[in-house]
A and B are shown apart, each in its own frame.
Chain A
Amino acid sequence: MTTAATSATRSLPPPSERYTILGWLRKNLFSSLFNTVLTVVAVAFIVFILQSLLRWAFTSAEWGVIPANFNLIMRGRYPAAEAWRLWLVLYLLGGAVGMIWSLTTRQIGTALLVVFVLPFALMLVPFFSWAIRLNLLLVEVIGIGGYALGRYLPIERRGRAIAYLLIGYLILMLVVLRGFGEDANTLPAVPTTLWGGLLLSLLLAFFGIALSFPLGVLLALGRQSQLPAIRIASVIYIEFIRGVPLISLLFMGQVMLQLFLPDGFPTIDRVLRALVAITLFSAAYTAENVRGGLQSVSRGQHEAAQALGLSGYQTTMLIILPQALRAVIPVLVGQFIGLFKDTSLVALVGLFDLLGIARTVLANPDWLGTQQEIYVMVAGLYWIFSYMMSYASRRIEEQLGVGKR
């Protein structure tokens, strides 16, 4: 925490330069003959590319394929009669995000704008039905309500409050999505084979991240351990997993696992198998990233902790890990974004994630030949979520002051 004394002595930034538009153009784009030529060529090139792209997008592209298959792309084969559960999950998400936000920051920042303006922007999508728009509006309202409610939560115990919120949300989400038994009257079970589209991609990424992170931290600590058995086991695990491609782990899980299990052993849920493969794979990479952070913490920190009389566990949890993890946030987020995009590999083992669903839509005789439109949309969706992750990571870095202190 910076105190008032240090901020007063900090030197002021240089005054910002101001130009008129013409002046700016002149300085940045036409300052010399070479720069002028470069500008003209680059602009011509951009216009050339954009022109054909826009011509395609507005004249020859058949965007009708997206509204017609919108439900399929969003939720896969999740039954339409149970679709209200997905909205319920979104309401809960809106409420949870609102509360967490008001716990972490007491001022409405630009990040809030992104999260809450996004549904408003989505409401303008022309092909959305009024039911969808109404539901999105409800998510907004609940989110704002959650934000207001969050102000009554104790901010001094916000770490615990956030954790309880997340635990509650995750459990509730799984229960709502999965339901109870086959014959239950309320919330009948929806088998995971019916989960698909963006829903499946996000769930795989979400749980993959949530599960692989602690596993990776444990492995990283294990690799640094003084105990040979733990160290060797961790090294073998990390090096083995890093030595094989993810797709081979997925194939192992999907088609070979059943051969290893004894006869009559109940079939393991296929989505769960994919999730386990993704988690195991990602944990090995997380472990190596975290190890980099652990090694960046200087020896003096250990010694200081010991001098204070902290136990080994306390030293790790209170001194080493917080500093190590803070140092590797950008790397970890980069890896998690990679994990999110890697979930598209499950399309190759017959699960209908976003990419898998896109490929089945292409096989629909009504929509043959619309692969450009579909793939552009899939790329757009991946970009939106990846960008949101990297934006969130930048915010966290700012809050923790990574690279500043």
Chain B
Amino acid sequence: MKSRAKFNKTGMILSMVVGMIIAACIGPAAAPAVVESDEPTAPAMQEEAQSTLSIVQERGELICVSNSMLPGFGFLDSEGNFSGFDTDYCHAIAAAVFGDANAMEIRPATAKERFTVLSSGEGDVLVRNTTWTMSRDTDLGLNFAPTTFYDGQGIMVRKDSGVMSLADLSGASICVATGTTTELNLADQMAAAGISYEPVVLETADEVFNTYDAGRCDAVTTDKSGLVSRQTILADPSAHVILDVTLSKEPLGPAVRHGDDQWFDLVSWVVFATILAEEHGITSTNIDSFMNSEDPNIRKLLGMEGDFCAKIGLSNAGCFADVISQVGNYAEIYNRNLGPDTIFNLPRGLNNLYTDGGILYAPPIR
């Protein structure tokens, strides 16, 4: 009898505990939300159905849908800060909008949920190594800002296999990750070239490269940036070679929702500004020496002439100067994350300025 009575008491008290937990749980979590909604919206912003820019400004920070699991593009460093090429472009947009590159939060998203997260309004911009394709640009209701990184699918083989071209891969087994465009591209390209091969389909990039390194397939395919970064951690990196063929075009860049041209312009011109800054040789370290430049192109870029930031809805005339001084120009962003000082040491190739043999070309500011 005694133990029953005890059980009953604990049972009743347990339900009380639970009630308190629910209250405690909802209380602190809901508190900031209430504060946010209490904030009065500026009357000027009320008439237009809340532009993305005004939502971002009201919130006080940018929410950037990005990657947390791609080496070089977006990952958490050991201190718990996001870092990477895509992350830097999130910083750049925040720097332009707020004059503070850190006024942003990364909303990590997987490849599967990224578009829904953007279209449901949970994020303001998608910067997550997303390939610009026609169906995404149209059906999915996205607008793609200028490409920040031109990638392409490549193939890596062992040096001693003597494979030099796609045709040499006839009958070979090729490791590839499942469910990606990579798998489809491979099938398309090989069918077009009339080459038969045996695909070894695996779940994740880690598995793909482990399997290849273990010798279970003759070749491995993924985006070239991925091949380069993974080659460095194979058991013997020098025993492998990346073939000089490109199976697909993968232009990666930021994307925003349809229906807000001002926000689209803003994101686009932040990207252009980083490219223009490299063209003019302006970096985060030497930007001060350009502040009394006579060159009208530089004066317009840095906000000393004209009201170009106002054209994308920003009151801060030095919006691009903030991007350059806080995040850097394109070359700085590239080198910091993928360049010679990193383990990737990825050649710029197509991602050079048009004057250096690449295809980065930004329209002028005037």
Contacts and interface: CB of A to CB of B under 8 A. Distances in A.
Contacts of B22: 211
A352 B16 CA distance: 31
A266 B113 CA distance: 21
A163 B75 contact: no
A171 B32 contact: no
A174 B24 contact: yes
Interface in B69-109: 69-72, 74-81, 105, 107-109
B57 interface: no
Nearest to A162: B10
Contacts of B4: 318-319, 322
Interface in A355-371: 356-357, 359-366, 368-369, 371
A318 B8 contact: yes
Interface in A163-211: 163, 166-167, 170-171, 174-175, 178-179, 181-182, 189, 191-193, 196, 207, 210-211
Interface in B133-150: none
Contact of B108 (A71, A255, A350): A350
A95 to B, nearest CB: 18
B34 to A, nearest CB: 7
Contacts of A400: 3
Given A167-B20, A255-B116, A365-B75, A182 B32 contact: yes
A368 B76 contact: no
B17 to A, nearest CB: 5
B36 A266 contact: yes
A267, A325, A348 — which one has the most chain B CB atoms within 10 A of its CB?
Answer: A267
B113 A268 contact: no
Chief secondary structure at chain B's binding surface: helix
A214 B80 contact: no
A149 interface: no
Contact of A266 (B18, B34, B80, B122): B34
B206 to A, nearest CB: 5
A207 B14 contact: no
Interface stretch (A110-118, A134-142, A256-264, A382-390): A256-264
B4, B36, B107 — which one has the most chain A CB atoms within 10 A of its CB?
Answer: B4
A123 interface: no
A210 B32 contact: no
A256 B120 contact: yes
A268 B34 CA distance: 11
Contact of A360 (B6, B34, B50, B76): B76
A365 B342 contact: yes
A259 B80 CA distance: 30
Contacts of A362: 69, 206
Given A163-B10, A266-B36, A360-B69, A76 B17 contact: no
A254 B113 contact: yes
B363 interface: no
B33 interface: yes
A210 B117 CA distance: 30
Interface string B12-47: 111111101110111011111111110000000000
B21 A207 contact: yes
B46 to A, nearest CB: 11
Given A77-B76, A210-B17, A258-B121, A192 B29 contact: yes
B5 to A, nearest CB: 8
A357 B20 CA distance: 30
A350 B32 contact: no
Interface stretch (B175-183, B185-193, B229-237, B319-327): B229-237
Contact of B80 (A77, A171, A175, A368): A77
Contacts of B222: none
Contacts of A325: 7, 11
B184 to A, nearest CB: 22
A80 interface: yes
Contact of A361 (B3, B12, B34, B76): B76
A364 B78 contact: yes
B18 A159 contact: no
A360 B74 CA distance: 9
A321 interface: yes
A277 interface: no
A297 interface: no
A159 B12 CA distance: 10
B344 A214 contact: no
B193 to A, nearest CB: 32
Contacts of B229: 365, 368
A170 B24 contact: yes
B344 A365 contact: yes
A317 B12 contact: yes
B8 A178 contact: no
A365 B71 contact: yes
A77, A193, A325, A365 — which one has the most chain B CB atoms within 10 A of its CB?
Answer: A365
Contacts of A350: 68, 107-110, 113, 117
B13 A352 contact: no
Contacts of A361: 76
A105 interface: no
A364 B121 contact: no
B339 to A, nearest CB: 12
Interface in A71-120: 71-72, 76-78, 80
B16 to A, nearest CB: 7
B343 interface: yes
The 3 nearest A-B residue pairs measured at CB: A163-B13, A266-B33, A363-B75
Interface of A: 1, 68-69, 71-72, 76-78, 80, 158-160, 162-163, 166-167, 170-171, 174-175, 178-179, 181-182, 189, 191-193, 196, 207, 210-211, 213-214, 251, 254-256, 258-259, 263-264, 266-269, 271-272, 275, 317-319, 321-322, 325-326, 348-350, 352, 356-357, 359-366, 368-369, 371, 400
Given A214-B18, A359-B69, A365-B344, 4 more contacts: A159-B6, A207-B21, A363-B74, A368-B229
29 contacts: A69-B78, A71-B79, A72-B76, A72-B79, A160-B13, A163-B17, A170-B24, A171-B20, A182-B32, A196-B80, A210-B17, A210-B21, A254-B117, A267-B33, A267-B122, A269-B33, A317-B11, A318-B5, A321-B7, A321-B11, A350-B108, A350-B110, A361-B76, A363-B69, A364-B77, A365-B343, A366-B343, A368-B71, A369-B206
